[in-house]
């Protein structure tokens, strides 16, 4: 009896998994499109999750709409337009390339450029300092010190 | 070159300012794309009488509010008294959309606490709610005489928001 109890307990999480709805498609191509779309659309409640990962109720509604639109034979663009018209471009996980997102696209490269520039300046100055500071007399002194230590 | 050791301090202060500003912004406050767009029409079953319908078309020619709410949402409880004030004292026409709710609970809630709504529609498929781009409750929309969405407020309606954002706009829209 006890092993059975344990088994039931182990199966308990499966009950929770069953909450995510399963949609039936008559056409595997449509299913693939559905999967791709819910990967690319953002859930607005849990903002760092896409529709595929989120189990917020809003995400559920948005998945349902996506499913219905695809089954009805609408294109990916139509689904995306539908979502953008209602929730704004924020709903797209992959931000479009336009004026308001220029900083988003170029910002990291600008920061990288500035960092490399500062690094180069720094290395240059270091190199200049070193070349200057070691004169023949310094070399002589260094050799003396090293010789002293060896004896 | 003496001031060199101040550079980390400068960077630190810069970061403090940057993060400080970041704290005052709300990432959930996504600007609505529907402002100044025509609100899509809805016709929803009435919460109190499933035989009747709550129709946005009947509000044409008025400046009115749509309030999306549910008894499950704490902020909706918080704003309820103020909505009552708006409806009773300021005579603002408000249509409610009860969202993802138990009908019986919603009816009880309105009976007990008072009903600020001209009519309440239920939206089991979230269709009207999605058309309004709602992603949380409560949300309040201001719609003008031509049926254009003029303003949206996310979260509980407060006297301050009302005074500063809604009231002046409504007065302007009423005149037009």
pLDDT over 70 (residue A15): no
Distance CA A75, CA A81 (A): 10
Across the interface, of A45, A84, A88, the residue whose CB is closest to B136 is: A45
Which residues on chain A are in Cβ contact (under 8 Å) with B135?
44-45, 58, 87
- pLDDT 10s digits, A62-73: 999 999 999 999
Q: Which of B25-39, B53-67, B108-122, B147-161 has the lowest mean pLDDT?
A: B25-39
Distance CA B55, CA B47 (A): 13
Residue of B nearest to A46 (CA): B28
Average pLDDT of the segment spanning B34-38? 88
Residue of B nearest to A47 (CA): B28
What are the C-alpha distances in Å from A142 to residues A126, A133, A135, A147, B163?
Answer: 20, 13, 11, 9, 80
pLDDT over 80 (residue A150): no
Residue of B nearest to A64 (CA): B125
- pLDDT 10s digits, B62-77: 999 999 999 999 999 9
Which residues on chain B are in Cβ contact (under 8 Å) with A65?
130
Mean pLDDT for all residues in chain B: 91
State if pTM tops 0.80.
no
Residue A20: the pLDDT is: 64
* ipTM confidence score: 0.78
Q: Where are the domains of chain A?
A: 21-96, 100-150
Say whether A57 and B100 touch across the interface (CB within 8 A): yes
Average pLDDT of the segment spanning B10-16? 94
What are the C-alpha distances in Å from A52 to residues A130, B50, B78?
Answer: 57, 34, 33
Strand pairing class (B119-122; B94-98): parallel
pLDDT over 80 (residue A21): no
B34 touches chain A (CB under 8 A): yes
Give the HSE-up count for residue A19: Cα atoms under 13 Å, Cβ half-sphere.
12
Task: Identify which has the larger pLDDT, B12 or A137.
Answer: B12
CA distance A59 to chain B (A): 9
pLDDT over 70 (residue A1): no
Task: Identify which has the larger pLDDT, A48 or A74.
Answer: A74
Across the interface, of B27, B126, B131, the residue whose CB is closest to A47 is: B27
Average pLDDT of the segment spanning A54-77? 90
CA distance B136 to chain A (A): 7
**8 A C-beta contact, residue B72 and residue B138:** no
- pLDDT 10s digits, A87-130: 888 888 887 888 888 888 899 999 999 999 999 999 998 887 76
Average pLDDT of the segment spanning B149-154? 92
**What is the band of A7 on the pLDDT scale with cuts at 50, 70, 90?**
confident
Across the interface, of A45, A65, A85, the residue whose CB is closest to B135 is: A45
pLDDT over 90 (residue B12): yes
Domains and CATH numbers, chain B: 33-175 (3.40.30.10)
Counting residues of chain A whose pLDDT is more than 70, the rounded percentage is 91
CATH level 3 topology of A21-96: Helicase, Ruva Protein; domain 3 (1.10.8)
Across the interface, of B125, B126, B133, the residue whose CB is closest to A87 is: B133
B155 preceded by a cis bond (ω within 30 of 0): no
Distance CA A48, CA A66 (A): 19
């Amino acid at each position: 009896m006890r092993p059975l109890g344990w088994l039931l307990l182990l199966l308990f999480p499966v009950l929770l998994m069953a909450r995510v709805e399963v949609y039936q498609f008559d056409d595997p191509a449509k299913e693939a499109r559905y999967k791709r779309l819910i990967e690319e659309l953002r859930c607005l409640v849990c903002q760092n999750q896409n529709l595929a990962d989120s189990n917020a109720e809003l995400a559920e509604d948005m998945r349902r709409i996506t499913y219905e639109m695809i089954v009805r034979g609408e294109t990916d663009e139509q689904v995306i337009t539908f979502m953008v018209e209602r929730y704004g471009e924020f709903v797209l996980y992959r931000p479009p390339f336009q004026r308001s997102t220029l900083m988003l696209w170029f910002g990291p490269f600008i920061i990288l450029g500035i960092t490399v520039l500062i690094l180069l300046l720094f290395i240059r100055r270091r190199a200049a300092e070193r070349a200057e500071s070691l004169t023949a007399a310094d070399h002589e002194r260094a050799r003396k010190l090293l010789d002293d230590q060896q004896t | 070159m003496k001031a060199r050791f101040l550079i980390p301090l400068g960077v630190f202060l810069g970061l403090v300012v940057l993060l400080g500003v970041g704290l005052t912004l709300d990432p959930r406050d996504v600007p609505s794309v529907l402002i100044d767009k025509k609100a899509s029409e809805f016709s929803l079953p009435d919460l109190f009488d499933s035989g009747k319908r709550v129709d946005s078309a009947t509000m044409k020619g008025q400046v009115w509010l749509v309030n999306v709410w549910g008894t499950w949402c704490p902020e909706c409880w918080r704003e309820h008294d103020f909505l009552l004030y708006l409806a009773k004292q300021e005579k603002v026409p408000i249509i409610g959309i009860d969202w993802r709710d138990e009908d019986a609970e919603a009816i009880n809630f309105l009976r007990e606490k008072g009903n600020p709504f001209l009519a309440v529609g239920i939206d089991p498929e979230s269709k009207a709610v999605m058309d309004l781009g709602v992603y949380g409750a409560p949300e309040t929309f201001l719609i003008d005489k031509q049926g254009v969405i003029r303003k949206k407020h996310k979260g509980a309606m407060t006297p301050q928001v009302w005074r500063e954002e809604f009231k002046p706009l409504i007065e302007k829209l009423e005149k037009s």
